[in-house]
Chain A
Amino acid sequence: MSQKSIIDRLAILADAAKYDASCASSGTAKKNSLGGKGIGSTEGMGICHAYAPDGRCISLLKLLLTNHCIFDCHYCINRKSSNVERARFTPQEIVDLTLSFYRRNYIEGLFLSSGIIKSSNHTMEQLVETARILREEHDFRGYIHLKTIPEADPELVHQAGLYADRVSINVELPTDSGLVKLAPDKNAQQIEGAMGGMKMAIRQAKDEKKRFRHAPRFAPAGQSTQMIVGADAATDADIVGKASRLYDNFRLRRVYYSAFSPIPDASAVLPLKRPPLIREHRLYQSDWLMRFYGYQPSEVMQATEADGNLPLDIDPKLAWALKFRERFPVDVNRASREDLLRVPGLGVKAVNQIVASRRHRTLRLDDVARLTVSITKVRPFICALDWRPVMLTDRADLRALLAPKREQLELFSA
């Protein structure tokens, strides 16, 4: 069979990568190409170079080295038993694509993943080789994110960390039983073992960096993972619990949630319907509550409804506030920062501004309105110098008042 052209293979292998939620190119060590031979820089904050009509940012060239796979995970389009068209790139071809895109300022770098070919070690070697050519032969100083294969030799995975800014290992599914059912070739213990090993390696490299200035950098942007939402019966409470354990146990930078989307040639055991995008969104919101708002995982779980899932019509912060009305109203002139962060509609920035402003004046409702996006949403939950929401907070129909009106289909909002 004749080899497909680069552009045809790019179409196949980018298409195969579109189910991966991660796109971030942030949080790595600063570097630039001054004084070097190649190109590239990272300045801490990642840049989204384009947005696709699915609203997701394109920051990295996200590709699979190959979509051939010896595994047979039901949710995965590349599984062995799928009839999808197959293709593969050589490491050199990926390098050339990355560099020519980077020179034109289309991307921040490369996010490389792969189906498992021949063996886990063979696949990992190819991934590492791609990163090596970029870094060593082309002195590339942009961002590299490598997906590591949990079953691969730890030494190979270690090399990946030396070339990459970020490494990730997918947990795939929120429960072990889901993994057994949908990813029969994968093993939860092995995945978590690999995450644990990566955590240790990152920590060790950090220690060495403190002591020796020339110690090599090791995955300076840390490790992340991805969970598929909606392919099995796991509830939001299960997912939040799993995510918080992962954050705690493995010091992950991010847990990505990927709403399961129907894949062509799907396996018979999977749901075939539109991906639960709102659910994915609510999970990201709950993730933020834990990472930036000081909520404990148990508190996010308190915001779930009887079926263990977060409400879809309102955000988890509002859901929590409606369940714990005795904690409100919060006095914007006296309350602690922690309590202010619990007010639905007040973001971290607004809270910081309230705390800064109240040193200079006693805040009225108008003052708060200037610092927030929507005072209507905030009003029932706060007191200000000229405002007490006594009646509002106790109203039984508060949820209905605050829940957003049903929106038109997104298709027509453009």
Chain B
Amino acid sequence: MNALQPVEHHTHYAIHLLEPDDFDAWRERARALVQCDVPPDRVTWIEPGGSGDLFADGERQLPVRSDGAAPVRASKRFVRLAKNAILHSDPDRFALLYRLLWRLQGNPQVMEDKADPDVRRIEELDKNVRRDSHKMHAFVRFRLVETEEDGPEHYVAWFEPEHHILRANAGFFVRRFANMRWSILTPQESLHWDGEALVEGPPAQRSDAPSGDPTEDLWRKYYASIFNPARLKVGAMMREMPRKYWKNMPEASLIPELVAGAQGRESQMVAAGSLEFDARPETLGAIETALHACRKCPIGELENSSVMGEGPRGAQKFSGLMIVGEQPGDQEDLAGRPFVGPAGQLLDLHLERVGIDRSSAYVTNAVKHFKYVQRGKRRIHQSPAAKEIDTCRWWLEAERSIVQPKLILTMGASAARAMLGKTVSITKARGAPIMLSDGSELWVTAHPSYLLRLDGAAREEQARMFDADLAAVKARLAELAN
């Protein structure tokens, strides 16, 4: 150091700062101290409200620096970190910054030594302040204040920052809410923006800020609804939103009940969609037995019995064709066999006409129970809902994995849905195979009961198309057999 002015040895200097966050004032003092060659261990820095020092009661006059004193050097990185670190609430921050500045004069590279304890510390302060600032940007919650009718809306927030960050972050709120009138109140000071100018005010108390805002009900509802109870991760939330911030965030009051209720809500979610099937039965007989007990959907609760598919039990007699209808009707339910009622008789007629031997095919339904509404003594057929078809699909898949058809013919939209898991248009899909993932083929056609509902020319037309589909299936079966 080349301070020419003699410095009194062992003198301590106590520097009083007027603001806890005023970097420029600190810099001016620090510069003078360096130029007067005052080593860090002989300076005490005192912020407003801070305690004094054992050696110096008042601010001792600094020695006068000579005109020829070398300029004080500081790396850009130091200045950048120091500007932010000085906002920290640690009373030792000024001394740390001065020590580093002092060391920078002898070793301009000191800031690049990441393992140096002083460098580590200033980075830590900087990081804490950045985090606090970031949390302020995030966790300030404005409330709308009642104002006189014609005046602009006024939004007021109460916030308790950990460090002296309010003024340094005013710009963020000005840029974001430039055309809004707002105030941020803190225990240290307050800020007011009227759309044009920023005014600093005195410290405030929590009671100075408004206590509620009807929009908070909406916000809390949103917060509770966007939370997925099946993904509870309280630790992750606590890391990012520590409890100390909660008291000023309207949504935080919900956290305990959301956490407490999460497991219950999750099991409800699972239970609401749950279909606890046991292991898939390995024989058709086992399926039939289990079907009688199936209550996975509302149809099972009706007074009916289940109707199992039927077909040849020997491999030689099986042509490889599986025919899937919609669901058993009244007569099927009473007989306990598929396709014995009017639609079944019509199907038999067409199969015979085309030359398909029904007894060589496995005939079953997408839904295994009869769905109906009771009208007097009559049970009126009801189409199964998509959900019911999807549920019963499990049984159909079980049958299919045992029967192992080469070709599946579904009749009607419900049956097609049971195979594909989606609703297809019969008109568009008929006449060509749909390849299934196991290598078998799916052909779709209309349901014979549809034909029963038609008359005259329309019925003739549909009957002709139905025959054409059956004929195509027959031809394809023959090809597959070779």
Residues of A within 8 A of B (CB): 6-7, 10-12, 14-15, 17-19, 32-41, 43, 47-58, 61-62, 72, 74, 80-83, 97, 100-101, 103-106, 177, 181-182, 184-185, 259, 261-270, 272-275, 277, 353-354, 356-357, 359-361, 363, 367, 370-371, 410-411, 413-414
Contact = CB atoms under 8 A, between A and B. Distances in A.
Interface residues of B, number: 78
B179 A360 contact: no
25 contacts: A6-B218, A18-B227, A32-B176, A33-B175, A33-B176, A50-B241, A53-B237, A53-B258, A55-B237, A80-B423, A81-B386, A82-B387, A100-B218, A101-B218, A101-B222, A103-B142, A181-B437, A184-B421, A261-B230, A268-B391, A268-B393, A273-B270, A356-B114, A361-B115, A414-B234
B475 interface: no
Contacts of A18: 225-228
Contacts of B155: 103-104
B420 interface: yes
Nearest to B113: A360
Among all A-B residue pairs, the 8 with the closest Cβ atoms: A55-B236, A266-B273, A55-B233, A184-B422, A81-B386, A32-B175, A14-B225, A52-B227
Contact of B241 (A38, A51, A259, A360): A51
Nearest to B263: A411
A39 B255 CA distance: 30
A272 B272 CA distance: 10
B143 A104 contact: yes
A100 B215 contact: yes
Contacts of B115: 353, 357, 361, 363, 367, 370-371
Contacts of A370: 115, 120
B233 A54 contact: yes
A50 B223 contact: yes
Interface of B: 109, 112-115, 120, 134, 137-144, 155, 157, 172, 174-180, 213, 215, 217-219, 221-238, 240-241, 249, 251-252, 255, 258-259, 262-263, 266, 268-270, 272-275, 385-387, 390-391, 393-394, 420-423, 437
Given A275-B230, A359-B112, A371-B115, A184 B420 contact: yes
A82 B141 CA distance: 37
Contacts of A35: 178
A66 to B, nearest CB: 15
Contact of A268 (B178, B217, B394): B394
Given A36-B179, A56-B231, A272-B273, 9 more contacts: A12-B225, A14-B226, A15-B226, A50-B241, A52-B258, A101-B222, A181-B421, A267-B421, A274-B266
Contacts of B420: 184
A156 to B, nearest CB: 25
A60 B259 CA distance: 22
Contacts of B268: 264
Contacts of B232: 53-54, 410-411
B113 A361 contact: yes
Given A10-B221, A54-B228, A264 B273 contact: yes
A104 B422 contact: no
Given A7-B218, A414-B235, A53 B255 contact: yes
Contact of A262 (B227, B230, B387): B230
Contacts of B275: 268, 272
Contacts of B262: 53, 411
B228 A19 contact: yes
Of listed A34, A103, A177, A359, residue having the most chain B CB within 10 A: A103
Contact of B140 (A101, A105, A273, A363): A105
Contacts of B139: 49-50
Secondary structure of the B contact surface, majority rule:
helix
Contacts of A11: 221, 224-225
Contacts of A17: 226
Contacts, number: 238
Nearest to A73: B422
Nearest to A42: B176
B217 to A, nearest CB: 7
B145 to A, nearest CB: 12
B270 A272 contact: yes
B270 A104 contact: no
Contacts of A411: 232, 234, 259, 262-263
B386 A104 contact: no
Contact of B259 (A39, A273, A414): A414
Contacts of B157: 105
Contacts of A57: 240
A262 B218 contact: no
Contacts of A360: 109, 112-113
B273 A263 contact: yes
Given A47-B137, A47-B138, A33 B177 contact: yes
Contacts of B259: 53, 411, 414
B251 A50 contact: yes
A353 B227 CA distance: 38
B231 A55 contact: yes
B144 to A, nearest CB: 8
B228 A261 contact: yes
A51 B240 contact: yes
A104 B250 CA distance: 11
Of listed A48, A53, A274, residue having the most chain B CB within 10 A: A53
A189 B441 CA distance: 23
Contacts of B273: 262-267, 270, 272
Contacts of B238: 414
Of listed A47, A61, A182, A277, residue having the most chain B CB within 10 A: A47
Of listed A6, A39, A262, A268, residue having the most chain B CB within 10 A: A268
A332 to B, nearest CB: 11
A272 B115 CA distance: 50
Given A36-B179, A104-B155, A363-B115, A54 B227 contact: yes
Nearest to A263: B273
A264 B269 CA distance: 5
Contacts of A269: 390, 393, 421
Contacts of A19: 228
Given A261-B231, A410-B234, A52 B178 contact: no
A231 B213 CA distance: 42
A315 to B, nearest CB: 16
Contacts of B175: 32-34, 41, 43
A273 B276 CA distance: 11
A51 B236 contact: yes
A275 B274 contact: no
A34 B139 CA distance: 22
A356 B114 CA distance: 7
Contact of B227 (A53, A356, A367): A53
Nearest to A180: B437
B463 to A, nearest CB: 30
Given A36-B178, A51-B241, A53-B262, A371 B142 contact: no
Contacts of A265: 272-273, 387
Contacts of A32: 175-176, 178
A13 to B, nearest CB: 8
A172 to B, nearest CB: 14
A310 to B, nearest CB: 19
Contacts of A356: 112, 114
